[in-house]
A and B are shown apart, each in its own frame.
Chain A
Amino acid sequence: MIRVLGSIAGLTAAIAILYSLQQTMPGYADITRPIAVHGAIGDRLMARNFELTATKVTLAQRIVLRTGTRERVFETTGLWAVVEAQAAARHESVTVTAASWLGPSGSRYAMSQRFPTMPGLLPSERLEPGLPRKVLMLFELPESQAKDATILVSRTPFTPIDNELHIKTNVPTPLFVRNVARITRGTTPGDWRLEIQ
C-alpha cells in the first residue's frame, strides 16, 4: 500500500515538475535576445566588441550634405534626428551596422537609407581597436516619436546573445527643432563636420 502511494506521489511530482517546466520555458526569441547595456547621452558604453559614446542629439527639419561647393538637400515630412557619437573597436576591427531609434510608442526607426554617400555614417566606418572616431547616425521620424526615445546600437541587425546598447536620449520639451543640419565632407575619407543652423 505504501509502495503504491509512493508511486502515485512520485508520478504526481513528475507531472507537476514537467508542467511547470513547460509553462516557464522561454521561446527561441527570448533565449537568443540581445543583452542590453543601458546608458545615457555622454556615457561611454561597452559592448562585447565595440565601445560607443553618443555625444549629442540634434533635431532638424532638413539635412544638407556639402561636398566641395555642391550641396544636396534632404527634406522630410517628419524630423531628422542627427546623433553624433564616438566609437572604437575593443579587441578586433569591427563594423557596427545596426542602429535604430526606439520611440516612446515602441515604434522602431532604423537608420535612414537615403544617404549612400554620406561620410562618417556608423555602418560605413570600420572601427579599429585603440582608434576612437567620430561617427554619425541619422534617423527620419515623426515629431511624436522624438521625445523619451532610446537609441539602440548593435553590431548586426540580428544579434543573438550579443550586446545591444540602449542609449536614453535627452531631447528637451518643448522640442527644439533646428532649421538645417549641414554635414560637410572633409578632405580625408570618412572625415566630416557638422554645422547646425
Chain B
Amino acid sequence: MAALLPSTPKERRAFRWSALALLAALPIAVVASSYEDVIEWRSSQELNAIVAAPSKSAVYAGAEWRLERVHRLNEPGAAALVVIVEFEATVKDPAVFAATCNVALTDASKRRWKPQFLAPSIGRRVRPEAVERPRCGSASLKPVKTGDKIKMAESFMTPPDIGDIDLIVSLSTARPAYLVLD
C-alpha cells in the first residue's frame, strides 16, 4: 500500500509534474472536445446586431437591406392586428445571400412574432401588391446575381396595442450576426 505514495525525491518530483500536467490537460481536453459544438451553436444564434436606422439601409449577408413600408391592418371585430412589412435587398454577394432566411418582428418588450405562412385575408384584400411579394425564405433560395434588387414582404399577427416594431432578419451564412431594420 505504501508503494502507492511517492517516497523518494525523484518520485515526488514526478508526482508534482504529473499533477500540474493534469491541471493543464483537463481544460485542453474540454476545449478540444467541445470546440466544434460551440462553433455550431454560435452559427445558429443571433448574437451581434447590425442595426439599420429608420429609412436607412445596412449591409448584411451579401446584400444591402432596407425597410420600405409597414402596414398595420385592423379587421373590424378581430382581436389581432395584421402587420405587413415590405423590405428590399440589393444583392452584392450572391453566394452569401443564398441561404436559409429567418425573419421575426419584435417590439420594445423583446417579444418575437414569427411570420405567417399564408398572408391573412385582410392583407390579400387591402394590400394585395404587398402580399404577392416573395417571402424572405423563398426569395433567398432563388438564383440571384450581383446588383439584383429583391423586394420581399412578410406578414405577422400581433396584439392591437403593439408599439414600435423592428424587423429582424438573419441568414444562416451570416449568423451569429443578425440584421435589425428599425
A interface residues (Cβ-Cβ under 8 A, vs B): 3-4, 7-8, 11, 91-93, 126, 128-131, 133, 188
14 A-B pairs besides A91-B110, A131-B157, A131-B158 with CB distance below 8 A are A3-B5, A7-B1, A92-B104, A92-B111, A92-B113, A93-B112, A126-B116, A128-B113, A128-B157, A128-B159, A129-B113, A131-B79, A131-B80, A188-B78
Q: How far is it, in angstroms, between the C-alpha of A64 and the C-alpha of B116 when the chains are bound?
A: 29
In the complex, what residues of A have CB within 8 A of residue B112's CB? 91-93, 129
In the complex, what residues of A have CB within 8 A of residue B162's CB? 130
B5 touches A128 (CB 8 A): no
- Given known contacts A91-B112, A93-B112, A93-B113, is B4 in contact with A130 (CB within 8 Å)? no
- Given known contacts A3-B5, A4-B1, A131-B80, is B159 in contact with A93 (CB within 8 Å)? no
A93 touches B114 (CB 8 A): yes
Q: Report the minimum CB–CB distance from B3 to chain A (whole Å).
A: 10
In the complex, what residues of B have CB within 8 A of residue A4's CB? 1-2
Query: B111: which of A3, A11, A130, A188 is its contact (CB, 8 Å)?
Result: A130
Q: Report the minimum CB–CB distance from B75 to chain A (whole Å).
A: 8
Q: How far is it, in angstroms, between the C-alpha of A7 and the C-alpha of B5 when the chains are bound?
A: 9
Q: How far is it, in angstroms, between the C-alpha of A158 and the C-alpha of B60 when the chains are bound?
A: 36
Q: Report the minimum CB–CB distance from A3 to chain B (whole Å).
A: 6
B86-118 at interface with A (beta carbon < 8 Å)? 104, 110-114, 116
Q: How far is it, in angstroms, between the C-alpha of A168 and the C-alpha of B66 when the chains are bound?
A: 51
Q: How far is it, in angstroms, between the C-alpha of A8 and the C-alpha of B5 when the chains are bound?
A: 12
B114 touches A92 (CB 8 A): yes
Instruction: Name 20 A/B residue pairs within 8 A (Cβ), A-sorted.
Output: A3-B5, A4-B1, A7-B1, A7-B2, A7-B4, A91-B111, A92-B113, A93-B112, A126-B116, A128-B80, A128-B157, A129-B111, A130-B158, A130-B162, A131-B80, A131-B157, A131-B158, A131-B159, A188-B78, A188-B121
Q: How far is it, in angstroms, between the C-alpha of A128 and the C-alpha of B78 when the chains are bound?
A: 14
Q: How far is it, in angstroms, between the C-alpha of A173 and the C-alpha of B140 when the chains are bound?
A: 59
Q: Report the minimum CB–CB distance from A97 to chain B (whole Å).
A: 15
Q: Report the minimum CB–CB distance from A1 to chain B (whole Å).
A: 10
Q: How far is it, in angstroms, between the C-alpha of A3 and the C-alpha of B113 when the chains are bound?
A: 68
For the complex of A and B, list the 5 residue pairs with the smallest distance between their C-beta atoms, beginning with the closest: A130-B159, A93-B114, A129-B111, A92-B112, A7-B1
Q: Report the minimum CB–CB distance from B13 to chain A (whole Å).
A: 20
B128-182 at interface with A (beta carbon < 8 Å)? 157-159, 162
In the complex, what residues of A have CB within 8 A of residue B158's CB? 128, 130-131
Instruction: Specify the chain B residue showing the minimal Cβ separation from A5.
Output: B1
In the complex, what residues of B have CB within 8 A of residue A126's CB? 114, 116
Instruction: Specify the chain B residue showing the minimal Cβ separation from A88.
Output: B159
Q: Report the minimum CB–CB distance from A128 to chain B (whole Å).
A: 5
Q: Report the minimum CB–CB distance from A94 to chain B (whole Å).
A: 9
Q: Report the minimum CB–CB distance from A59 to chain B (whole Å).
A: 30
Please indicate which of the listed interface residues A4, A91, A130 has the most CB atoms of chain B within 10 Å of its own CB: A130
Instruction: Specify the chain A residue showing the minimal Cβ separation from B116.
Output: A126
In the complex, what residues of B have CB within 8 A of residue A91's CB? 110-112
Q: Report the minimum CB–CB distance from A5 to chain B (whole Å).
A: 9
B1 touches A8 (CB 8 A): yes
Contact with A along B52-92 (1 / 0, CB 8 A): 00000000000000000000000000111000000000000
